[in-house]
Homo-oligomer: A and B are copies of this chain.
């Protein structure tokens, strides 16, 4: 396998760290939480308060939604950006939201602290070049059919344009197993951590598509060595306009955060070779 040069560790011996307000991604463990879609000013504010209280350090919410069917809810667009921005400010959390069109990159950059490239746009090369021209941190999701090599080459498109602030996100690949929405590929996380200097996080919500599996997969991801998690949390999942079956409610997320913190402590111990050499 050929690792592209800027993305590979040869170009950068030390791990990339990305500072956003008080967090330094790649050093501090990143927990992005929030609803799949921004549905209203009240909904996103309520979600923001809940995830902040539980200990998340970044707020997510979709304003432009790539949906399989043109008849599904497509997001609130610019209004969604406004509501998300306000909610982030209200609870003092940086925000991340998806951009799906080269023409929107400037606009979304005005609002978001991190630009998200979704799995279906991983190989939308024009979009990669466009976000590469900004200096905004970019979260690049792995395509649900993409090999590790293709994924890293997409990161290379962004780095090549001069934007070094790329975060990789494993969100499950499509396989013969249909019980889970996708198959979370944690060996890819452990492998990519060895190939690149970029932070690598995991999205267990899209990977599993099932509320009851998100907790275990979050903890598994930490032990695979990930630098963070992106978890869907909705004030009232049953009423969600998208991904209803895979969003945690605030109470579930609060309990999961305690487990995440304990697991992080162990992983930190293990990475300290004095305690337990690898």
Contacts and interface: CB of A to CB of B under 8 A. Distances in A.
Interface string A122-162: 01111000000000000000011111111001001100100
Contact of A178 (B66, B147, B183, B276): B147
A212 interface: yes
A15 interface: no
A269 B185 CA distance: 26
A271 to B, nearest CB: 10
Interface in A32-75: 66-71
Interface stretch (A23-31, A107-115, A187-195, A228-236): A187-195
A145 B176 contact: yes
Nearest to A261: B276
A244 interface: no
A263 B276 CA distance: 12
Interface stretch (A79-87, A88-96, A218-226): A218-226
A115 to B, nearest CB: 15
A68 B146 CA distance: 11
A198 interface: no
A17 interface: no
Contacts of A146: 176
A119 B70 CA distance: 18
A103 interface: yes
Contacts of A175: 173, 175-176, 183, 185
Contacts of A185: 175, 177, 183-184
A121 interface: yes
Contact of A213 (B67, B68, B187): B187
Nearest to A188: B177
A123 B120 contact: yes
A179 B178 CA distance: 13
A258 interface: yes
A190 B173 contact: no
A255 B269 contact: no
Contacts of A143: 145
A245 interface: no
Contacts of A179: 1, 147-149, 188, 191
Interface of A: 1, 4, 66-71, 100-103, 120-121, 123-126, 143-150, 153, 156-157, 160, 173-180, 183-188, 190-191, 194, 207-208, 210, 212-213, 215-217, 219-225, 255, 258-259, 262-263, 266, 269-270, 276-278
